[in-house]
């Protein structure tokens, strides 16, 4: 059991199937993954288990999350468990608990025998280390050429107010949106923190991650100027995305979410993006329906696990 010795071992590391395999070489080149974060268990030259962590960019002091944990078919689950424990001590020395884990899975993974075996193996192995299922999310995608709802007259869209580079207004709107939220991550944070603190931490921390370009951000108002909601389209290292979207509690139930999502989609699409990606919790049915109405299709699911 050891870390990957360099990019030259990427082919070996990718011998277990996963949707992320194709991204690993570029991730290493651009610093989102580092060989010392990519651990393998080998029997001779056969890869039998692997685990790796990921960061948003090369400037990160350490990883942001763990997104790969695999054990080869027929291999004892304890092989993966031991690999994880050894790697943890080196990748996150002194950490009070592991970083959150996510894995991308097919939407129908429960109905497909092979997919179910792989997903359940990953989850069972991490459960042995104390992890628990936190939330399952839908992975969504709009593709170029899909119709976008044309602009209407109900809402006016503008950039956030310039005070403090828009930070103050966006955090204020985020604070209001947290009332009645169905988002599992936000609900977890709200258990022991007030909404204003959660909003500020989400804005400044990994939740938003300083999404760019800022000129894409839009606040939605009624024609008289009363705020209705906002949308933050952005680009990450892989695709254009809908990073954050919300409607203020007092304005919910009027169908404004469709207008706001259409505006965010239009802005990102105008840059020539071949696709726009987004995600929402499986349990957030209203948001999932809004994405579907606006031409986003479900391309898979995402399982998040956490350690208390």
Output the pLDDT for position 68: 95
The lowest-confidence range among 55-59, 168-172, 222-226, 287-291 is 55-59
Residue 66 three-state SS:
strand
- Closest by CA to 278, choosing from 256, 302, 306, is 302
> Does position 49 have pLDDT exceeding 80, yes or no?
yes
> Does position 161 have pLDDT exceeding 90, yes or no?
no
Residue 155 three-state SS:
coil
Please name the residue that has the structure tokens 């790969």.
Answer: 68
Helix or strand (DSSP H, E) at 280: strand 275-281
Cα distances (angstroms) measured from residue 193 to each of 54, 188, 200, 203: 27, 9, 11, 15
> Does position 85 have pLDDT exceeding 90, yes or no?
yes
CA distance 275 to 243: 14
Output the pLDDT for position 237: 83
Q: Which tokens is 218 given? A: 């839009």
Contacts for 150 with CB less than 8 Å, ≥ 6 apart: 262
Measure the N-to-C terminal CA separation of the chain; round to a whole number of Å: 27
> Does position 138 have pLDDT exceeding 70, yes or no?
yes
CATH numbers and ranges of domains, the chain: 2-129 (3.40.630), 143-300 (3.40.630.30)
pTM for the complete prediction? 0.88
Output the pLDDT for position 175: 96
Cα distances (angstroms) measured from residue 139 to each of 64, 76, 135: 19, 31, 13
Contact 130, 305 (CB under 8 A): no
Output the pLDDT for position 213: 86
- Closest by CA to 265, choosing from 152, 68, 273, 133, is 273
Output the pLDDT for position 60: 85
Q: Which tokens is 93 given? A: 């020395």
pLDDT higher at 22 or 165: 22
Angle at 136 between CA 282 and CA 265, to 5 degrees: 55
The packing angle between helices 113-127 and 77-91, to 10°, is 50
CA distance 30 to 58: 6
94: preceding bond cis by omega (within 30 degrees): no
Q: How confident is the model at residue 205 (pLDDT cuts 50, 70, 90)?
A: confident
> What are the residue ranges of helices labelled H in 128-229?
167-177, 184-190, 195-204
């Amino acid at each position: 059991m050891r870390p990957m010795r360099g990019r030259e071992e990427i082919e070996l590391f990718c011998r277990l199937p996963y949707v992320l395999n194709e991204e690993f070489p570029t991730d290493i080149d651009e610093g989102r993954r580092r060989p010392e974060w990519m651990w393998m268990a080998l029997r001779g030259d056969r890869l039998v288990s692997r685990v790796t962590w990921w960061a948003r960019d090369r400037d990160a002091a350490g990883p942001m999350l763990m997104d790969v944990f695999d054990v080869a078919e027929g291999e004892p689950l304890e092989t993966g468990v031991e690999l994880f424990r050894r790697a943890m001590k080196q990748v996150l020395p002194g950490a009070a608990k592991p970083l959150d884990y996510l894995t991308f899975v097919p939407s129908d993974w429960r109905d497909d025998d092979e997919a179910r075996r792989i997903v359940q193996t990953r989850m069972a192995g991490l459960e042995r280390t104390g992890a628990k299922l936190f939330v399952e999310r839908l992975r969504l995608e709009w593709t170029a050429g899909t119709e976008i709802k044309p602009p209407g007259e109900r809402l006016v869209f503008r950039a956030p107010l310039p005070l403090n580079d828009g930070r103050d207004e966006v955090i204020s709107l985020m604070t209001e949106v947290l009332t009645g939220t169905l988002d599992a991550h936000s609900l977890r944070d709200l258990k022991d923190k007030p909404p204003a603190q959660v909003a500020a931490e989400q804005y400044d921390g990994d939740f938003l991650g300083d999404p760019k370009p800022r000129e894409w951000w839009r606040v939605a108002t009624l024609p008289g100027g009363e705020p209705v909601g906002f949308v933050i389209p952005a680009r990450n290292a892989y695709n254009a995305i809908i990073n954050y979207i919300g409607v203020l509690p007092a304005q919910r139930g009027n169908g404004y979410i469709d207008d706001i999502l259409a505006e965010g989609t239009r802005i990102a699409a105008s840059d020539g993006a071949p696709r726009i990606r987004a995600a929402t919790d499986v349990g957030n049915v209203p948001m999932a329906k809004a994405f579907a109405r606006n031409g986003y299709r479900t391309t898979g699911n995402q399982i998040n696990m956490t350690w208390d």
